[in-house]
């Protein structure tokens, strides 16, 4: 009996998430097939032009939009941003600096500050 190791594959949605791109903006051949671990590693190591363009220009998925704006995903929703945005749209939002964005950035800064305080407190307690 020979042992046969099957190739581990993932759905295109999972691969797109790992690559940080919006699935609907990827080429049809990417969306319609499974992606192996080796293919994902190759895409990460040597991104083809379509992947470079998506990462540079978008449209970007919500986690990427939130990170670029310095807010949480929930903050995006509270601000009414539910669709993927392009890099240009993100830059426009930054320049316009609407009230919700200012508020959510402040909230996010407080969350980070509190997390750092708790981490430091725990380190002092355990150290």
The rounded mean pLDDT for the chain is 90
Structural contact between residues 16 and 23, judged by C-beta atoms closer than 8 angstroms:
yes
DSSP 8-state code for residue 23: G
- For residue range 35-89, list pLDDT tens digits in order: 999 999 999 999 999 999 999 999 999 999 999 999 999 999 999 999 999 999 9
The pTM assigned to this predicted structure is 0.78
CA distances from 103 to 71, 76, 79, 110, 127 (A): 9, 11, 9, 11, 36
Q: Alpha-carbon distance 92 to 3, whole Å?
A: 56
pLDDT band at 5 (very low <50, low <70, confident <90, very high): low
- pLDDT, residue 126, reads 82
- pLDDT, residue 124, reads 87
pLDDT of 127 above 90: no
């Amino acid at each position: 009996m020979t042992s046969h190791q099957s190739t581990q594959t993932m759905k295109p949605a999972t691969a797109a998430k790992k690559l940080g791109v919006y699935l609907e903006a990827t080429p049809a051949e990417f969306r319609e097939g499974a992606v192996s671990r080796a293919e994902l590693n190759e895409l990460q190591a040597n991104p083809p032009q379509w992947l470079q363009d998506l990462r540079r220009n978008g449209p970007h998925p919500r986690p990427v939009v939130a990170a670029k704006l310095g807010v949480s995903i929930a903050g995006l929703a509270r601000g009414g941003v539910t669709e993927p945005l392009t890099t240009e749209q993100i830059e426009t939002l930054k320049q316009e600096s609407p009230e919700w964005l200012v508020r959510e950035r402040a909230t996010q800064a407080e969350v980070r500050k509190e997390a750092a305080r708790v981490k430091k407190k725990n380190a002092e307690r355990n150290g």
